[in-house]
Structure 1
Amino acid sequence: MFNTIDLFAGAGGLSLGFMQTKKFDIKVAYEFNPAMQETYKKNHPGVAVFGDVRDANFAEIKEKYGDIDVVIGGPPCQGFSNANRQKNHAISQNNSLVKQYIRAILELKPKAFVMENVSMLRSDVHRFYLCEDDLELVESNVIKTANTELALLDAEFMFDEAINIVQSEQEIARYKWDDFDYLELNVIYKASKNVTKFKAVLENHKDRLIKISEKHTKRNEDDFIINADMVAFNAILDYYAGKIEASQIKALIEPAIMYQRMISKAQEIFENDIVVDSYTDNKGLIANIRSYAVFDYLKAKLKGTNDDDGYAISADVLSATQFGAPQKRMRFIVMGIRKDITDEVKLPEGKFKDGPYRTVADAIKDLEDVEPVYNVSDDKNGIKLQAKTNLSDLAQTLRDSKILHNHIITKTTPTAMERFKALDQGQNFHSLSDEMKTNTYTDVTRTQNTIYLRLKYDEPSGTVVNVRKSMWVHPTKDRAVSIREAARLQTFPDSFVFCGTKDKQYQQVGNAVPPIMAKAIAKKLANQLNKALSKK
């Protein structure tokens, strides 16, 4: 048995697949999210579970749990290209988590590691901004960088002092609002595209907005940014006093929002020690920095400098369908084995490589007549399953409990029910008539194809995400896909129980690695390790 640690363990899909081989003993897991941690603990009772991997002392872990042979895990990695603009982060904080994963490998020196991630990770799109810590890798030509522009402020909002403010931590601290204040104002700024929605948001946030606005309008300094703040917050107060129309607000609050975004990005540059080569202000305010691909960084840190140093690495995008999952889920898998053990590493090939693939029916048809519940509280004792014949191979494997938990759905609103009834298998929101699309999304044309998707029984599903948010529809029933059905599509057996609120459970399922795929990866790794170690 290989002693294993799972970092960023989520609900435990990767751990489950590794444990199912009976060749890996998961000693320790790290998971920051409390609901996921609860689920992990419930399903892996023998594992020591900790929270923030950034606090991990790996020397102590070794001392307490013995040498760690294998590190597994899927560090969240958005890279800056996918940074969450809604939260106004220019530099995704998740970058540091990939670095934590690498730190674990460098400090624990395991025999092997497996990292799973979004398929985009191997592309050039997923990049890190160059920070002080990594200058050495660049200067020694281990890693290639590209010049990158980080836009801090658009030309139409430029003012003379902007370039000096963003270079001073003192000035940034002086002008930056509390996060709560920014989020409140940003909510109404974003809602301003749709007048009906805008008025509703203004009404819902009234008390908080008045309180914030009164606080900010007390600052009486003759200063460009503070003046913009005053205009914005006075506009809010004027609206509630009936002095201006809702339609006038956007233009009055926009400059202040833009200056806060600039300040927030400038603060992140300091907090993340980003190397800025120069600032330019001739076409708006830009920080000229350098970036590099995340995967290049990973290889540079782990491949070592000679034949006996570091890890032999194999990496590719694998499709869950090829390993027997009934969904088209692509994951980027990196497998590494220490070069002093072997210099050759291979990823597994799926048993279903050439099809036919397993389908939605294989996974969930046997639950078609099992009535779901609406609340987590109604799921306490689960649902007793009646014996069933003619089960697919997959259903026989997954149906490993006489009690069915997590067969929970959201209540269907009259509007949703009308839409469900209008959709055939394989159709989605875009298939609905124009009348049925009204009062839903701000920009109907930009609605994703996964929204209101009625699954097709005779095909694998698309990638399981948070199916509550996507409002996936059951192939034959006019209702949402349940948490348990989504878990089946991910190949979680029925004995694996999810914890937390309904939305948290849907989220955990959507974020997971299909255990069936994890098991194939684990099996391949164990075989290679055993073969190489037996020759030593």
Structure 2
Amino acid sequence: MKTQDKIGIDIFSGAGGLSLGAESAGIKIGFAVEKDISAAKTFERNHPGVKVLCEDIAKVDPKIHSVNKPFIIFGGPPCQGFSLSNTKTRSDENNNNKLFWEFVRFVDDLQPDWFLFENVEGITNYNKGNTVLKIKECFKQIGYDTREAVLYASDYGVPQHRNRFFMVGNRLGINFEFPEKHDKKINVREALADLPVLNNGDSFPVAQYSLPVTDVSEYAARMRIDSQAPLQNFVSKNQDYVIERYRHIKQGENWKAIPPELMKNYSNKENCHSGIYKRLDAEKPAVVISNYRKNMLIHPFQDRGLSVREAARLQSFPDHFVFEGPLSHIQQQIGNAVPPLLAEAIFRKILSY
């Protein structure tokens, strides 16, 4: 790497959504840490030449792997304990809640100019808001001023109404401000219109675009850069009775539109989350693409679940980005990722200082 390169280190990297955004903004990735084998393989494949440490972060000495002082350290520690959707393990005893201390350790050891810490929105009210105050105080003690905000991906060119918590810190005395929102939101139709028509259970490693690049949205054209064909057109195989349920759901509707006689296996439908059996509205940004297979998110026009490539598009992963591992692992990697375009907006703002 050139001495003038701004080096970033990605910890808890997952598939590499943050790194993709960082690279697009002009940051070189020094190394990454990711314990999950499939996610680490995905990162390696899409960031050739970057060393990925597939091991427990508590056992990693960052000084051994960092040749020069990094410009920025970034990552999102596992956040099951912080999530508002998880009521069983939201406690201080959850070991995942302690993993942010490993993030603090990396920053303290390497003293980068900047750091970016991301998590679920639920962290803001966890422990009555004291968790965020505690994290801020930790960074203050090691010399970092911090700013935090909950950002919506749809405000930054991502066709998905996804909210994430970000804390940005620096040791340069800079009063950081988060990037301004975009005026235009990208909808599902604009994001997916040129991807192939598929059926329940289809599995095509390579397919054909349904529209020439001259006839697609600016967003879709950006996703197609460096890609000759849509890859990983994999759709989970659902049972016939599930597909029958899909047929009763219009765009924007959820499981409540399914006739009661088709939902008899649900002993208590009151426990159904509003995101279950949700058909995407083509004219709006998508709902959150988390565990989209488990939630059974439905294509806006076709009676089936989303393909890997469609879910990746809605997360703003370019079409040449290839995910590694079994289908369920791939789906989880996509659902866990920070949308690269959202990440890029934050990194560009950091670089502007």
Q: Same fold (TM over 0.5)?
A: yes
SS of the residue 1:467 aligns to: coil
Q: How does 1:145-224 map to 2 (within 5 A)?
A: none
- Bigger CA radius of gyration: 1
Write the letter of the residue equivalent to 1:334: M
SS of the residue 1:27 aligns to: strand
Write the letter of the residue equivalent to 1:360: V
C-alpha distance in 2 between matches for 1:111 and 1:74: 18
In the other structure, the counterpart of 1:36 is 39
C-alpha distance in 2 between matches for 1:314 and 1:486: 30
C-alpha distance in 1 between matches for 2:274 and 2:19: 31
In the other structure, the counterpart of 2:295 is 470
Between structures 1 and 2, the one with greater helix share? 1
In the other structure, the counterpart of 2:219 is 394
C-alpha distance in 1 between matches for 2:293 and 2:50: 30
Write the letter of the residue equivalent to 1:39: T
Write the letter of the residue equivalent to 2:36: N
C-alpha distance in 2 between matches for 1:332 and 1:394: 24
Deviations 1:87-124 (A, max 9, x none): 8987211022111001111111111101111112122x
C-alpha distance in 2 between matches for 1:84 and 1:463: 16
In the other structure, the counterpart of 1:301 is 138
Q: How does 1:244-263 map to 2 (within 5 A)?
A: none
Deviations 1:70-96 (A, max 9, x none): 101011234478696768987211022
Q: 1:297 Cα shift?
A: 1.5
In the other structure, the counterpart of 1:317 is 150
Alpha-carbon spacing, 1:375–1:93, altered in 2? closer, same or farther (3 Å):
farther
In the other structure, the counterpart of 1:247 is none
Give the gaps of 5 or more residues in structure 1: 128-145, 147-291, 529-536
Report the RMSD for the aligned CA atoms in angstroms: 2.2
Say whether the 8 Å CA contact 1:372–1:407 is kept in structure 2. Answer: no
Deviations 1:493-512 (A, max 9, x none): 00111111111111111100
Q: 1:385 Cα shift?
A: 3.5
- Counterpart pick for 2:351 among 521, 526, 533: 526
Normalising by structure 1, report the TM-score.
Answer: 0.61
Q: Percent of counterpart pairs with the same letter?
A: 34
Say whether the 8 Å CA contact 1:83–1:92 is kept in structure 2. Answer: no
C-alpha distance in 1 between matches for 2:257 and 2:151: 31
Normalising by structure 2, report the TM-score.
Answer: 0.92
Q: 1:405 Cα shift?
A: 1.5
Alpha-carbon spacing, 1:385–1:461, altered in 2? closer, same or farther (3 Å):
closer
In the other structure, the counterpart of 2:209 is 385
1:110 aligns with 2:112: yes
Q: Which moved more, 1:78-87 or 1:476-485?
A: 78-87
1:7 aligns with 2:11: yes
Write the letter of the residue equivalent to 2:215: N
C-alpha distance in 2 between matches for 1:316 and 1:89: 23
Say whether the 8 Å CA contact 1:84–1:92 is kept in structure 2. Answer: no
Q: Which runs of 4+ in 1 moved over 6 A?
A: 80-90
Count of paired positions:
346
Alpha-carbon spacing, 1:90–1:26, altered in 2? closer, same or farther (3 Å):
closer
SS of the residue 2:8 aligns to: strand
In the other structure, the counterpart of 1:349 is 180
Say whether the 8 Å CA contact 1:77–1:98 is kept in structure 2. Answer: no
Q: 1:7 Cα shift?
A: 0.6
SS of the residue 2:168 aligns to: strand
